[in-house]
Amino acid sequence: MRHNTELLQSYDALAKSVVFVPDNQGVSLVNYNKMELTPIGHGRSAYVFKIRKSNKVLKVFYPPFEDIAAKEAEIYQMLKGVTFYPTLYDFGENYLVIDHIEGLTLFECLVHGRKMNESHVEQIDEALGMARERGLNPSDIHLHNIIITPTDEVKLIDVARFRQEKFCTQWEDIKAVFFKYYIKKYFPKKWPARVLYFIAALYKKNLLTRFY
């Protein structure tokens, strides 16, 4: 078994193997250690890789968002012991190593027709409440950063904006829609991704407030 220092050096080497190049869409991923890493997703500021033969992921931030790594790492450290959030194992100048969470995001639940229930909402409320108890201000909560695991537990990821000062209403808005529409028997539980993205675009423009 390798010593901890060797493991940390290994994570750093894996992060350094990830290469991005600028393009019209922002950046493109052009290289990474294909023997050790499997890409599993990307977002507005980072790519995420499953580290093979482990239950961990490597999250690598691309330019100009590298500084988010240290900020998000600090927040995960503040959330240490709260089981609704992944454990932080390591971080560097542009990367994090955290638990790999099996399951579907709320967005994927809607796309695949995986039914959500009030227990999930209660767990999310509890997770956010525990973050507030630790001096954080949960923000930017959306359908892509809440995961329902195969054991029906809720996990939250992407916590970089949990120290924003402004009050974020996104989760309260999602919850309002859940209780006003989603739990009704007639309401569809499966939606095409393109429709969900269209609804999200309208939401960002504040064009849906009268519906919830």
Full pLDDT tens readout for the chain, 212 residues: 344 555 555 999 999 999 999 888 789 999 999 999 999 999 899 999 999 999 999 999 999 999 999 999 999 999 999 999 999 999 999 999 999 999 999 999 999 999 999 999 999 999 999 999 999 999 999 999 999 999 999 999 999 999 998 889 999 999 999 999 999 999 999 999 999 999 999 999 999 988 88
Query: Where are the CATH 1.10.510 domain residues in the chain?
Result: 104-211
d(CA 10, CA 12) in angstroms, rounded, equals: 5
Architecture of the domain spanning 4-99: 2-Layer Sandwich (3.30)
Token pair 């309002």: residue: 176
- The dihedral of CA 57, 132, 171, 115: what is its sign? positive
Taking each helix axis from N to C end, the angle separating 170-177 and 118-133, rounded to the nearest 10 degrees, works out to: 160
- Whether 155 has a binding-site annotation, put simply, is no
Determine if the pTM surpasses 0.85.
yes
Q: Which residues are catalytic?
A: 140
With CA atoms as reference, report the closest residue to 120 among 76, 83, 175. Answer: 175
CATH 1.10.510 applies to domain 104-211: yes
Query: Where are the CATH 3.30.200.20 domain residues in the chain?
Result: 4-99
